[in-house]
Amino acid sequence: MTEAHSILAPSAAFRWVKCPGSAKLSALFPEDEHGEAAAEGTAAHYAASYFLANGHWPMSLAAPNGVAITEEMKGNLQPYLDSVEPARHFPDGVKLEERIVATSVHPDVWGTADAYALHAPSKTVYLWDLKYGHGIVEAWENWQLVAYASALLDLVTPEWTFVLRIVQPRAFHRDGAVRTWSLTAAELRTYARDLHTAAHEAMGNNPQVVVGAYCKFCPARHACLAAQSSALEAEQQSFQAVPLVLSSAGLSLELSLLRRAQERLTARLTGLEAQALSEIRAGKVVPGWTIEHTNGREEWTKPTADVLALGALFGISLGKPPEPITPKQARDAGVSADIIAAYSQRKTGTAKLTPVSTSKARQAFGG
């Protein structure tokens, strides 16, 4: 949910951990909470928390911010509801949309946790974060989850386990919509110490600014001298001659350099585009630039029952035909995995060139 008043917002921890200087810079340029994607995410969080608290959907057809709560949204939220639902029956229940403060990290590290629960019989803390956007968010070494979990560390003893989950129903991931990162309280304290160091540097007198791929998510990227210098350097390098035939070592180096240059240019470009859009909307003139709107997705404005009745009036079925559930859902429902294998296949995905990541290797081998 919204953490607009927190300079060290957990949702931005992935950025200020790497670039401590981004915290105070970002505070000067608050992100637009009324954008279409942000508004839709706020509505989805409202609908999900309402369902978990009351056992049914809101009677209103729209969230408090005016965004429609559609049947599609309800279906998208099902993996999150299924994951959190069992915790409602824990002895202490589940906490929903509750503000928590990681005081052991820094007093300014606070935010609204989507859902968390403490299960004393198994000495386990469960924490969920719902992501309604399309950009992939990993659970492993997720600094936002670390920030929230750090706020709960003082409630448990070292032998407890933390089960941290990212639920992202609208972004395809090979591990599914629900991704989990489990670690002991002792392991979590190690990450919390790193968070503590970054937070105190960020709130210090001269926090360091570090350019990286995360810059494209920074609301201050259009006003950051380091980002500007890095982007201009990348632009200058893009005009340098490149050999036609490269050795394996040269190919590797060139790919790395151009990937980094691309990230810096993208971060700077998107920042300037956001600034230009803001100024044009405010009535200012940005020479050579204007705003054009693409056609949005067409959708029904009447209730589902009325739409189906309309189709019946014309002798046309306006409902979607029945479709089988996915093979995974069938396995989860109890159908034998061997039988599922005989009726299904996993297609090879699109080939994608991916740099070798040290952190992914550590994750794979439990490092």
By three-state DSSP, how is residue 78 classified? helix
Report the distance separating Cα 197 and Cα 8, nearest Å: 13
State yes or no: pLDDT of 1 exceeds 50. Answer: no
| pTM score, whole prediction | 0.65
> CA neighbours within 13 Å on the CB side: how many for 131?
22
Q: Using a pLDDT cut of 70, give the percent of the chain over it.
A: 83
By three-state DSSP, how is residue 140 classified? coil
Report the distance separating Cα 76 and Cα 186, nearest Å: 35
**72-91: b (≥16 Cβ within 10 Å) or e:** ebeebbebbbebbeebeebe
CB neighbours of 289 closer than 8 A, spacing ≥ 6? 276, 280
Report the distance separating Cα 243 and Cα 253, nearest Å: 12
Residue 117 confidence (pLDDT): 97
Report the distance separating Cα 91 and Cα 120, nearest Å: 8
Report the amino acid identity of residue 275. Q
CA dihedral (151, 181, 121, 54) positive or negative? positive
From the number of C-beta atoms within 10 Å of its C-beta (0-12, 13-18, 19+), residue 57 rates as middle
- 285-334 residue pLDDT tens: 888 888 887 766 667 777 778 777 777 887 877 776 666 777 777 777 77
